[in-house]
Amino acid sequence: MRNRVVTVTAALLLASAIHAKAQTKPAEATSGNAPWGVTGMADVGVRVTDANGDEARFERYRDLRSGLFTNCVFGKQTDGYLLDVTAKNIGYRDQQYAVDYQNSKFRFSFLYDSIPLNYCYNCLTPWREASANSWVLDDAVQNQVQKSRYPAPVTPLPPGFVAIPTNYLQNQLTSVYRAQAQTFEMQSRRDTTGVKFGYDMTNDVALSVDFTSTKKSGYQPFGMSHAFSNANELPVQLDNRTNDFGAAVEWVRPQGMFRAAFERSMFSNQFNDVLWDNPLNLTDYNNGLQPPSGPYDANGYSNGNGAARGRISSFPDNSMTVVSFMGLYKFNRTTTLNGTVQVSDQSNDDDLIPWTSNAQINQPSVWALFPHLAALPRPTAEAKVRGVNALVNFTSRPVRWMGVNAKYRHNTHSNISRPFPYDENVRFDAVSEETPGEFAEGHSVIRDTFDASVSFSPLAYSTLRVGYLYDNYDRTGRTHNDMRDQGMRLTWDTVGTAWLSVRVGYEYIDRTGFGFSEQAVEDAAAQPGLRFYDEADRERNRFNAMVTLTPFQTMDFTASVTYTDDHYGGPGMEFGLFDVTNTAYNVGVNYTPSDHVAMGVNYGRDDFSTYQRARNANPPPDPSWTDPNRDWTLDNDEKVNNVDVYVDLLNMFKNTGIRFAYNYSDSDNAFVLGGPRTVTLFNTIDANGFRTFEQLPDVTNDWQQFMIDLKYSFNAKVGFAIGYFYEKLSISDFATINLPGTDQPRIDYLGGLTTGYGNRPYNGSTFAARLLYTFLAPVTSIARRAGRSTGAAGPFFVRGTGFRGLAESGAGPPRI
């Protein structure tokens, strides 16, 4: 009973990784061969990695540097306690250590987990980090650029050079900042340290306390801009931490349970803002005039005549407190009621950054015209949200052939922050402007969801379910005040027979928006016929089917298909997203002719298709605003193929295990623009003789991975292993800009100075030779495909060990 109740608890609450680990690990320890004893494996060796191209993408979430390979799992089980200790990738950026201990009264878990995120090893930037997150350019080059722009008489840049190219001819030149750029490795890392204690005060009452601290450090690419023509990307430094504390008391009886919990989450960021130099200005732009004609340039947001240094805000410090209560009552063997109530408080009171970093705007002569810019309305965010969540589940099976399940969920997200007025504003630290009556206010949501289903079992092994869904949103700040989903679903499951499994389902959901305000759309300067797809009227049709056939004990076939179509509409809808269709097919076969051989192959095909419409127009009263000849459309179609093949040979040759796997994925993502506006542009020739419309090339990629792992056991305890995996990505993406004829980043492309971060091809391989020491007694039978992940295959295939896990921890097939 206790285990079953704990399972329900885990399903109802969002458990952290360490919680989940603490709950599952003791069960693993009990699955060994001997009821008591030592289990596990030490897998230690040497690794050699070689990679070419975009090496950071090859590694992505892992650290494959040549050196030591470690993957050790140790478990001990006595009649008094269970102990599991894990150490992986010792000394590397993806190292992990875990300890789980449990006796009859006390439970303890510890986890340290480090995960890198490798962006690029060949990015470049002309900015230098003078101090933490204060980025500077070479003053001499900035001055040279500024003198080439103003004041008159200007001094042109040397022939062949430009600051930031803004047209076709300039784009053939080289930026003066290209020579300033230095290559650097951009990577960040998440380090999670957590502990959890559990204590059974009595047979019925348990306490638990946990603390997890997650630090993020390193650098990530970040977009920031001085003007529409002067977009910049820098490697922003990260140094932030989230501390999560939780405490709970749980009372469990055979008839039910009750749990009360307290959680507190705190996020703190060492950086309140980021400062960076303007590539076009050494000093704040000053045309020598008085407001409103100066000293700033009214077009500075577009042409870059703005501040010498820009400033953007970084992620704000914030916190959340949650108090929750959960209960479960079992009326009888077939009827259960459980529920949860959570009350939460979220707060952000971080310092706000000033209106601007531009000294030419931060002065009395400008404040005389823009008095609201003299000071912020308040110095800190003063943002607060109160929340209430409630969930009730009722499950009953009053008769053998019928069951009922009903669920109600309520969520109140009440934003009680005071509105923040901005009657005046500064764009891009370049231009002060009037924005009368504008203010920002937090949005609130009240959501109620009811979901009920009835299941019938008219035939052996088969269940028919009929379900109903009601989901209502009441909210502020959107064009529709209210939105309601109503739907039904029908499923048929035939499972449990020895040779056949069938699952078929159909779902229809109709979404209707209420309280539409065309004024709200027009206030945002949008076309009145626009509907936002997350609140527009929508019809969803979803179908899925899966059949598994097992004609022989040694072979199974699986085929599945899923289809989802979302159609958006509603009165007056002219623009926005109209259709999204996803279709996925999979077929696979597994064959296990003997205890020593297992193999299988799977093929999958995914099709994604969307259709959207927009109008390229100037604001009213310009006639283009209502001109249907300015309409354009986009068909976005992506096709993806996946193939996975594996062969396992375990003890087919004496004391030898061989595993082979090959995975392949390709994608073709098309962006087909259409509509009358594209025709007009296609028929227009520019000054350089080019048609002013051109379809974008498809974004394509082709990813494959090959892995082989061979293990040989000298005796029941000691073995030797060699593993090799190879991974290759070919990719073509119009959003990644390279120097002509190379795969090297170009940082000075049209309208920007970037780090060059993008999607580039790579190939890489890793070889490892390892010594294995196992604590388990040999097991000769091979696991079927479904059992492979449990690691129950034999002495050298212990859970969590081996070379396969290394290959699987990469980025996988990319989605662009």
Site for other proteins in 149-208 (CB under 8 A): 165-168, 171
Region 284-313 residues binding other proteins, contact defined as CB under 8 A: 312-313
Of the residues 37, 256, 294, 316, which one makes contact with other proteins according to CB under 8 A:
316
| Residues 113-132 interacting with other proteins (rule: CB under 8 A) | none
Q: Which of residues 528-567 bind other proteins (CB under 8 A)?
A: 530, 532-533
* Tokens encoding 310: 């820009």
Secondary structure element (H or E) that encloses residue 518, with its range = helix 518-523
Binder among 194, 221, 600, 761 for other proteins (CB under 8 A): 221
Among 67, 151, 379, 477, binds other proteins (CB under 8 A): 477
315 binds other proteins (CB under 8 A): yes
Contact residue for other proteins among 545, 634, 658, 739 (CB under 8 A): 634
DSSP 68-104: EEEEEEEEEE-SSEEEEEEEESTTSTT-EEEEEEEES
Question: Using the rule CB under 8 A, is 14 a contact of other proteins?
Answer: no
Binding to other proteins by residue 357, rule CB under 8 A? no
Size of the site for other proteins (CB under 8 A): 98
DSSP string, 735-757: TS-BSTTSSSB----TTEE----
CB 475 within 8 A of CB 445: yes
Residue in 4, 105, 128, 691 binding other proteins, rule: CB under 8 A: 691
| Footprint of other proteins on 258-277 (CB under 8 A) | 272
Whole-number minimum distance, CB 381 to other proteins, in Å?
6
Closest contact distance (angstroms) between CB of 670 and other proteins is 11
Minimal distance, residue 230 CB to other proteins, in Å: 9
**Distance in angstroms (rounded) separating the CA atoms of residues 656 and 778:** 12
| Among residues 618, 629, 715, 744, the one that binds other proteins under rule CB under 8 A | 618
Query: What's the one-letter identity of residue 733?
Result: D
Does position 695 bind other proteins by CB under 8 A? yes
How many Å apart are CA 713 and CA 371, to the nearest integer? 80
Considering only 95, 240, 335, 417, the residue that binds other proteins (CB under 8 A) is 417
Contact pick of 268, 481, 610, 732 for other proteins (by CB under 8 A): 610
Q: How far is the CB of 157 from other proteins (least distance, A)?
A: 17
**Residue 452 in tokens:** 């009920």
Residues 734 to 763 in contact with other proteins, rule: CB under 8 A: 734-737, 749-752, 754, 757-758
Q: Which of 449, 609, 636, 700 binds other proteins (CB under 8 A)?
A: 636
Cα–Cα distance measured from residue 692 to residue 452, given in angstroms and rounded to the nearest whole number: 55
C-beta of residue 304 within 8 angstroms of C-beta of residue 226: yes
Among residues 664, 734, 666, which one has the least CA distance to residue 699? Answer: 734
Binding of residue 715 to other proteins (CB under 8 A): no
Task: Tell which one of 16, 77, 314, 362 touches other proteins (CB under 8 A).
Answer: 314
> Could you say which residues in the range 380-399 bind other proteins, by CB under 8 A?
381-383
Considering the complex, state which of residue 193 and residue 669 has its C-beta at the smaller distance from other proteins.
669
Q: Which of 511, 596, 500 is nearest to 548 (CA)?
A: 500
CB of 364 to other proteins, least distance (A): 21
**Given candidates 298, 322, 452, 673, which one binds other proteins under the rule CB under 8 A?**
673
Q: Which two tokens stand for residue 401?
A: 């052939």
Closest to other proteins by CB, 653 vs 734, is: 734
Q: How far is the CB of 388 from other proteins (least distance, A)?
A: 22
16: contact with other proteins by CB under 8 A: no
Inter-residue contact 186 to 221 (CB < 8 Å): yes
The pair phi, psi for residue 159, each rounded to 5°, is -55, 140
Q: Considering only residues 438, 466, 515, 519, which one is a binding residue for other proteins as defined by CB under 8 A?
A: 438
Q: Work out the angle between the directed axes of helices 17-29 and 2-12 (0-180°, nearest 10).
A: 150
d(CA 132, CA 774): 48
Window contacting other proteins (CB under 8 A); options: 30-38, 135-143, 349-357, 772-780: 349-357
Phi, psi of 785 (to 5 degrees): -55, -45
Applying the rule CB under 8 A, the residues between 770 and 809 that interact with other proteins are: none
Closest Cα partner for 272 from 352, 184, 209, 205? 352
Segment interacting with other proteins (CB under 8 A) among 186-194, 285-293, 691-699, 724-732: 691-699
Instruction: Determine how many CB atoms are found less than 10 A away from the CB of residue 52.
Output: 13
Note whether 404 binds other proteins by CB under 8 A: no
What is the maximum alpha-carbon separation in the chain? 93
Tokens linked to 38: 């030592």
- Rounded distance, CA 644 to CA 600, Å? 8
- The smaller minimum CB distance to other proteins, of residues 325 and 625, is found at 625
Nearest Cα residue to 469 out of 400, 412, 540: 540
Minimum distance of other proteins from residue 363's CB (angstroms): 18
- Chain-centre distance for alpha carbon 601: 29
* 641 in contact with other proteins (CB under 8 A): no
Q: Is 142 an interacting residue with respect to other proteins (CB under 8 A)?
A: no
* Amino acid occupying residue 298: A
How many of the other CB atoms lie within 10 Å of CB of 59? 26
CB 126 within 8 A of CB 180: yes
DSSP string, 306-328: S-SEEEEE-PPPEEEEEEEEEEE
DSSP label at residue 728: E
Neighbours of 255 (CB within 10 A): 11
Judge whether 577 and 533 are in contact, CB under 8 Å: yes
| Residue closer to other proteins (CB basis): 84 or 350 | 350
Residues 561-600 that bind other proteins (CB under 8 A): 575-577
Q: Which two tokens stand for residue 244?
A: 């999560």
Distance in Å, CB of 701 to other proteins, minimum:
12
Contact indicator for 724, 765 with CB cutoff of 8 Å = yes
Comparing CB distances to other proteins, the nearer of 232 and 663 is 232
- 251 binds other proteins per the rule CB under 8 A: no
43 makes contact with other proteins (CB under 8 A)? no
Nearer Cβ to other proteins, position 659 or 746? Answer: 746
* 129 CB-near residues (< 8 Å, 6+ apart): 135, 237
Min. distance of Cβ 54 from other proteins in angstroms? 15
Closer to other proteins by Cβ: residue 557 or 608: 608
Stretch that binds other proteins, among 32-40, 103-111, 314-322, 790-798 (CB under 8 A): 314-322
Residues whose CB is less than 8 angstroms from the CB of residue 501 and which lie 6 or more positions away in sequence, other chains included:
494, 495, 546, 547, 548, 550
Residue 340 DSSP SS3: strand
Check residue 815 for interaction with other proteins (CB under 8 A): yes
Span from 395-403, 437-445, 486-494, 776-784 in contact with other proteins (CB under 8 A)? 437-445
Residue 768 phi, psi dihedral angles, 5° rounding: -140, 140
Please answer whether residues 222 and 236 qualify as being in contact, where contact means their C-beta atoms are separated by less than 8 angstroms. Answer: yes
Please select the residue that binds other proteins; options are 244, 350, 537, 727, rule is CB under 8 A: 350
Q: Does 145 bind other proteins (CB under 8 A)?
A: no
- From candidates 233, 493, 537, 566, binder to other proteins by CB under 8 A: 233
Question: Considering beta carbons, is residue 171 or 704 the nearer one to other proteins?
Answer: 171
Give me the least distance between CB of 353 and other proteins, in Å please.
Answer: 7
Least CB distance to other proteins at residue 378 (A): 9
Distance CA 546, CA 562 (A): 9
Minimum CB distance to other proteins, residue 468 (Å): 27
Find the part of the chain contacting other proteins (CB under 8 A) among 359-367, 389-397, 519-527, 707-715.
519-527
**CB within 8 A of 379, min separation 6: which ones?**
351, 352
Report the nearest approach of other proteins to the CB of residue 509 (Å): 17
